[in-house]
Structure 1
Amino acid sequence: MLTNLSQSSLTDWTLNLFLVGLLDPAKLDGVELVRQDGSFIALKPNMPTKLEPGQVFNFTLLVDKLALKNITDLPSGIYLSFGEKEQIIQVEFAPFILPHVAVTPAPKLNQAPPNALAIIPQPQQVELNNDTLAIQQHVWINNNQGLEVESQVFLSQLSKLRLGKEKSTVIDCLWDDKLTLEAYQIAIKDKIVVSAGSKVGFGRAFASLAQCLNATSALPQGFIKDQPRFAYRGFMLDCVRHFRSVEKIKQVIDLLAYYKFNTLHWHFTDDEAWRIEIKAFPQLTETTAYRGHGLAIESQFGSGSDPYGGFYSQEQAKEAVAYAAERHIQVIPEIDIPGHSRAAMKALPELLVDPDDRSQYCSVQFYTDNVLNPALPGTYHFIDQVIDELCDIFPAPYLHVGADEVPEGVWEHSAICQKMLVDNGYQDLRELQGHLLRYAQDKLRQKGKTLLGWEEAIHGDKLEQDAIIYAWRGVESSIKAANQGYQVIATPAHFTYLDMAYNRSEVEPGTTWATDFELEEAYWYEPLNDNLSETGKANLLGVQYALWSEFVRTDSQFDYMVFPRLIAGAEVAWSQPEHKDWQDFQARLNVHFNYLDHLGIKYRHYK
């Protein structure tokens, strides 16, 4: 029902909105479908309709794959466009009563003090005695030659103490080449002695020490010995669907370092935008860094009619990479090919679109024009140029190429794709995806880089097994790929996708297509199981958490969805299972909420 609350009559109007579902044009009443691109829907009355002030227009939509279960599912970004000049009127969505879903309230966290020190993730070994070391007004670091950067990062992590020689808690740095890359030891007596065999190890030690100093006024004396369970501990941030500022990226990096993650996987491109400057193709950011009414990319995910978006210049990206490197975090860029490439195709149609391709398909996000053609020469020119520039910006030895969710039906009615099948002796169209990805893998190998991809990257069976697979469909996906001989990063949506709602309440934000999970479920995720062969165990390199941002528009929404579940994930990725303790984790987390408050993080409360 649309009500005209303005003082003007409306004629020749179109209703535009964001709604996650697939419309069937044959099942509309009162309106006809003008277009659907992804979740952007434009509707017109099915006969000329003049909407007078105060008049009501009734219509009915039947939408496949739509369930109005929680506030995230409701229509948003609604506006009318009308007249020859496409004037815009914003439309308010009236309060909508969703069916109430009763959920068991999450219990309050354990309010008892921690068993030992309030360090997250739980160290490998902590031995304390009954004596204490009083924390002074300042800290002073001795023997930190070569550790100036790590020392400055450590000081930035302190919420109460500052550097000073008078009235100080003294910290001695001791190099120990018997300790592995990220291992460290901390001895606490009349002063604090931090030992490590590398700058990375000192960085991890300082993070633990900062947590201790932020949490208490007197440290128990004793000994800490620590090293990580998994070599790879990552967080993926989607800045395509909703844009994040460089300042927010740096805050995320700060928190990753504080909780001993070592990888930021930065998702730059998708169907809805291209967010990283490529100097060879300025059209990518000029055309598709912003979306909105009348632009190449229409409004999506409730962003509305006005231009919305942004992009990162190469200098900004390099700045973030350098900032992360100071905290011993590698930054891995992701571009999405061959699927999820609509923004690139909109920006470079002369290069990336086959005008004679009559194939029909619909992606899982309802796009019909988002897959690169592997038989076009322009596709490979595009890949070459983008990879060359990204390799110059991001020094990490990896580059992620997406490779997920290529829909059925692609390339079926492309004459050049059919010829490519015959010329190469391929039997299945999926082999064309493998062909394209193998090209990207070879290109990256020439640049000294390893190809990373979502688990569908192995479809088409063309990649060499030095590719690293991110298994997201479930725990068993990780097991299967690792047992097959691929190196794997476990990122199952059911435990690591932080855009999933905490529970099924209608007022709880987040999507639920995979599941919903509370903090305790996040804490008890276990990447290894008995179905892994010995080879498979060696191939499982680590764990990654992810924030897909379709429904995460603001920084405060980001904070709410990510924290504190990512902190639970830190313990999954770093601590050995036998050292985990849910009750003690809650007690330690209660202390850490004070630090999140200090940073202004709008986390989900459990107090």
Structure 2
Amino acid sequence: MGTAPYRLESTWQPDGGPNGRFTFTLFNLSDRQLSSFKLVYTSLTRVIDPKACENATFLRRNANFHEFAPPSGLSLDAGQSWTFTVSGLHRPARHCTDGAKSAYITLADGSHVDVAVSELLLEGRVNEPPPVLLPKGELDLPFALQPWPAEIDVTAGEGFPVVLYPADGSSVDDIRAVSTVLALFHRLFDSSHAPFNLAPSPQGRALRFVTDTGLAKEAYRLEFTTNAITIRYSDSAGRQYALTSLAQLLQGARGTPETFRFPETGTIADQPRYSWRGCHLDVSRQFYPSDDIKRLIDILAWFKLNIFHWHLTDDEAWRLEIKAYPELTTTGVLRGPDEPLLPQLGNGAQPVGGFYSQDDVRDIVSHATSLGVEVIPEIDIPGHSSATLVALPDLTDGQEAPDSYHSVQGYPNNALNPAVPFTYEFLEKVLDEMVELFPSSYLHIGGDEVANGSWLASPLAKKLMEQEGISGTFALQSYFLKRIKDMLTARGRKLAGWNEVSHGGGVAAEGTLLMAWENPQVGIDLARQGYEVVMTPGQAYYLDMVQAEAFQEPGASWAGTVPPAHTYAYEAEGDFPEDLKDRMKGVQACIWSEHYLSRAYFNRLVFPRLPAIAEAAWTPKAKKNWQRFAAIVPLSPKL
């Protein structure tokens, strides 16, 4: 790939406007004069005052898409540059990722050329060395286990077995379970020595499997002797977790023998703290190939997480093939300068798309099921539906003004209209196909961030509200979601959603699970209303949040700064009253993808916070130890 012919550099200054200002400089690095052009960049820090520009004309914005024209008659010879400032921002820039993520130029003939983008600088500030987010750590016991078990009473051996193998008489199911975890290990650590062998080895140690109905479904017990290891379990989940623990122990002892050891004798008795141990992934803002999805599921299984929450639709794209509406994965996924969906969040001159075929979904669900991971699909409705409405314009009320409301992300009129009859016909067909693809008892319907004022300029919505005797956006949302819950109930599924599902009267609490993301108190309030709750507050469990206050740290900051130590220490039960704790089903990490323009950014932001949440989901509070965790977590696999 050659050098880009143009480069856009930017700084942010705290003065020059209520929320500071950007100064942009476009450099012409080509050997030709540049004239009669327009400049587009994408940025999460949006322009809301189009007149607050100097030396440029603001042309249009759609969410994160911004288009500008240079002063009339401006041309740039080779090596020259053009500088302009933008002051009318909706918030100050706090981190380097708050600037332009991508840019391109539209030439006079209508063609588009990518522009290289430099990192946003803070004027007058020297970049400091990155802070130490993970200490070296200190072990109280020399064993590599993630997450740490509920009870451990073992003595460390001087060496370690070459392999572990099923003892004579093991059932075919037990042998298959060993093979499954062995395959998982090979996928995650393809250059490491295998922990298991199916055939006996004189240098190995035998595994004896014992079914113990006294153990809980996900519990296991390991009993170590010098010549064998007994695995006690009552269900396949417990057996898998036991084998995963053994693989971790042996990998640590073999790979870092100066730090970690393998047990010689003793017992490990283990079971999870919570039944819901989840990880969410947003694939709408950025597309992840199926192989990346399966690797993430492998990582979840390694950390004994059992829920993969797959966020398949949002304003930026609809990623799930629905055969009844092929437009969703043609028009509804393609973002580009000349497409109905404009570039967003790092897209440039070239159109980008990507979706999961139904065969892809079946393969991914099968892969997850084989590892004891349940896939919870999400289509985000009624809000966050710009891509859906672009793909299927018959879902709109044609009498409604096109910019009558805007979402918090800046999208105009982005919510499915509860008063359009086609809305329900559309969703009936979508749900029919989804329940065939996803065996989970839950289907997540979003329900978040519907802008207050949505639909109030729609004549159809006004008529419906008069007929039903309801007023306001959220009462209408409640009407809509109750109908969706009825659709799910008719299909044998339960409704999962974000905490705003409870707004405006909500839906029936029975058979409804809500995720508390805005702040921890929301979870307690939901539990008081009778809902089952999963805790996933942005202040601790959103893995797109910045990990340090320094300007050069990447990520979002609306929920504050979330260093790994805070994520690890956070206690999701918080101030839950004793009589409500049974409604808190567990915890979940959320991976929102606005800032994940590369695998390096993904791994930097997700790890070690994802394994920290896995330990919070599994390990009893009294057994958590930040220094021990810090010593073990560098062994973690990454995407």
Q: TM-score range by the shorter chain?
A: over 0.9
Looking at structure 2, the residues matched to 10 and 286 of structure 1 have their Cα atoms a distance apart, in angstroms, of 34
- With 69-78 and 44-53 compared, the bigger mean Cα shift is at 44-53
Task: Check conservation: 1:421, 1:429, Cα contact below 8 A.
Answer: no
Task: Check conservation: 1:125, 1:225, Cα contact below 8 A.
Answer: yes
Partner of 1:213: 250
Report the identity percentage: 34
- With 567-576 and 31-40 compared, the bigger mean Cα shift is at 31-40
- RMSD between superposed Cα atoms in Å: 2.0
Alignment of 1:384-423 (within 5 A): 384-423=428-467
Following superposition, the deviation at residue 51 of structure 1 comes to 4.1
Looking at structure 2, the residues matched to 498 and 578 of structure 1 have their Cα atoms a distance apart, in angstroms, of 25
Looking at structure 2, the residues matched to 319 and 130 of structure 1 have their Cα atoms a distance apart, in angstroms, of 41
Looking at structure 2, the residues matched to 113 and 278 of structure 1 have their Cα atoms a distance apart, in angstroms, of 51
Looking at structure 1, the residues matched to 386 and 133 of structure 2 have their Cα atoms a distance apart, in angstroms, of 44
- Secondary structure at the aligned position of 2:398 is classed as coil
C-alpha offsets along residues 507-528 of structure 1, whole Å, 9 cap, x if unaligned? 2211112112222111101011
Q: 1:42 aligns with which of 50, 61, 67?
A: 67
- For the structure 1 residues 412 and 482, does the alpha-carbon distance in structure 2 shift closer, same or farther, using more than 3 Å as the test? same
- Secondary structure at the aligned position of 1:178 is classed as coil
Letter in 1 for 2:224: I
Looking at structure 2, the residues matched to 569 and 378 of structure 1 have their Cα atoms a distance apart, in angstroms, of 41
Following superposition, the deviation at residue 335 of structure 1 comes to 0.5
Alignment of 1:494-505 (within 5 A): 494-505=539-550
C-alpha offsets along residues 518-574 of structure 1, whole Å, 9 cap, x if unaligned? 2211110101133x2333211111000011000102223212211111111111011
Indicate whether 1:185 and 2:224 are aligned. no
Task: Check conservation: 2:389, 2:416, Cα contact below 8 A.
Answer: yes
Looking at structure 2, the residues matched to 498 and 108 of structure 1 have their Cα atoms a distance apart, in angstroms, of 16
Following superposition, the deviation at residue 134 of structure 1 comes to 3.7
Count of residues in Structure 1 that have an aligned counterpart in Structure 2: 592
Indicate whether 1:118 and 2:161 are aligned. no
Task: Check conservation: 1:135, 1:219, Cα contact below 8 A.
Answer: no
Partner of 1:222: 266
- Secondary structure at the aligned position of 1:441 is classed as helix
Looking at structure 2, the residues matched to 136 and 434 of structure 1 have their Cα atoms a distance apart, in angstroms, of 60
Q: 1:165 aligns with which of 200, 213, 219?
A: 200
Partner of 1:295: 339
Following superposition, the deviation at residue 130 of structure 1 comes to 6.1
Following superposition, the deviation at residue 68 of structure 1 comes to 3.1
- For the structure 1 residues 141 and 210, does the alpha-carbon distance in structure 2 shift closer, same or farther, using more than 3 Å as the test? farther
Looking at structure 2, the residues matched to 114 and 576 of structure 1 have their Cα atoms a distance apart, in angstroms, of 16
C-alpha offsets along residues 311-355 of structure 1, whole Å, 9 cap, x if unaligned? 1101111101010101100000000111100000010112x1111
Q: 1:156 aligns with which of 174, 183, 201?
A: 183
Indicate whether 1:354 and 2:380 are aligned. no
Looking at structure 1, the residues matched to 156 and 405 of structure 2 have their Cα atoms a distance apart, in angstroms, of 68
Following superposition, the deviation at residue 115 of structure 1 comes to 1.2
Unpaired segments ≥5 residues, structure 2: 1-24, 186-191, 255-261
- With 29-38 and 496-505 compared, the bigger mean Cα shift is at 29-38
Alignment of 1:371-386 (within 5 A): 371-386=415-430
Q: 1:452 aligns with which of 492, 496, 502?
A: 496
Indicate whether 1:262 and 2:287 are aligned. no
Task: Check conservation: 1:487, 1:540, Cα contact below 8 A.
Answer: yes
C-alpha offsets along residues 157-205 of structure 1, whole Å, 9 cap, x if unaligned? 4442341312232111111111111011110102011011011111111
Unpaired segments ≥5 residues, structure 1: 603-607
C-alpha offsets along residues 260-317 of structure 1, whole Å, 9 cap, x if unaligned? 1000000110010111100000000011222111112111111211012311101111
Following superposition, the deviation at residue 83 of structure 1 comes to 2.1
Indicate whether 1:127 and 2:153 are aligned. yes
Looking at structure 2, the residues matched to 181 and 559 of structure 1 have their Cα atoms a distance apart, in angstroms, of 32
Partner of 1:605: none
Letter in 2 for 1:550: E
Q: 1:82 aligns with which of 107, 115, 118?
A: 107
- For the structure 1 residues 108 and 525, does the alpha-carbon distance in structure 2 shift closer, same or farther, using more than 3 Å as the test? closer
Task: Check conservation: 2:39, 2:104, Cα contact below 8 A.
Answer: yes
- For the structure 1 residues 113 and 575, does the alpha-carbon distance in structure 2 shift closer, same or farther, using more than 3 Å as the test? closer
- For the structure 1 residues 131 and 17, does the alpha-carbon distance in structure 2 shift closer, same or farther, using more than 3 Å as the test? closer
Task: Check conservation: 1:149, 1:326, Cα contact below 8 A.
Answer: no
- For the structure 1 residues 181 and 510, does the alpha-carbon distance in structure 2 shift closer, same or farther, using more than 3 Å as the test? same
- Secondary structure at the aligned position of 1:237 is classed as strand
Following superposition, the deviation at residue 16 of structure 1 comes to 0.6
Task: Check conservation: 1:20, 1:66, Cα contact below 8 A.
Answer: no
- With 175-184 and 68-77 compared, the bigger mean Cα shift is at 68-77
- With 186-195 and 41-50 compared, the bigger mean Cα shift is at 41-50
Following superposition, the deviation at residue 212 of structure 1 comes to 1.0
- For the structure 1 residues 464 and 122, does the alpha-carbon distance in structure 2 shift closer, same or farther, using more than 3 Å as the test? same
Partner of 2:210: 174
Q: 2:232 aligns with which of 180, 184, 195?
A: 195
Looking at structure 2, the residues matched to 487 and 233 of structure 1 have their Cα atoms a distance apart, in angstroms, of 14
TM-score, length-normalised on structure 2? 0.89
C-alpha offsets along residues 561-591 of structure 1, whole Å, 9 cap, x if unaligned? 111111111110111101112222223324x
Following superposition, the deviation at residue 96 of structure 1 comes to 5.0
Looking at structure 1, the residues matched to 531 and 484 of structure 2 have their Cα atoms a distance apart, in angstroms, of 17
TM-score, length-normalised on structure 1? 0.93
Indicate whether 1:5 and 2:29 are aligned. yes
Indicate whether 1:26 and 2:70 are aligned. no
Looking at structure 2, the residues matched to 501 and 170 of structure 1 have their Cα atoms a distance apart, in angstroms, of 46
- For the structure 1 residues 369 and 517, does the alpha-carbon distance in structure 2 shift closer, same or farther, using more than 3 Å as the test? same
Looking at structure 2, the residues matched to 88 and 587 of structure 1 have their Cα atoms a distance apart, in angstroms, of 49
Looking at structure 2, the residues matched to 50 and 420 of structure 1 have their Cα atoms a distance apart, in angstroms, of 55
C-alpha offsets along residues 210-269 of structure 1, whole Å, 9 cap, x if unaligned? 111211154231101111111100000111111111111111111111111000000110
- Secondary structure at the aligned position of 1:588 is classed as helix
Following superposition, the deviation at residue 133 of structure 1 comes to 7.4
Partner of 1:492: 537
- Secondary structure at the aligned position of 1:204 is classed as helix
Looking at structure 1, the residues matched to 560 and 95 of structure 2 have their Cα atoms a distance apart, in angstroms, of 13
- Secondary structure at the aligned position of 1:291 is classed as coil
Task: Check conservation: 1:353, 1:373, Cα contact below 8 A.
Answer: yes
Letter in 2 for 1:355: G
- Secondary structure at the aligned position of 2:603 is classed as helix
Partner of 1:564: 608
- For the structure 1 residues 514 and 103, does the alpha-carbon distance in structure 2 shift closer, same or farther, using more than 3 Å as the test? farther
Following superposition, the deviation at residue 104 of structure 1 comes to 8.5
Looking at structure 1, the residues matched to 220 and 101 of structure 2 have their Cα atoms a distance apart, in angstroms, of 50
Task: Check conservation: 2:318, 2:355, Cα contact below 8 A.
Answer: yes
Letter in 2 for 1:498: L
Looking at structure 1, the residues matched to 160 and 611 of structure 2 have their Cα atoms a distance apart, in angstroms, of 28
Looking at structure 2, the residues matched to 462 and 468 of structure 1 have their Cα atoms a distance apart, in angstroms, of 12
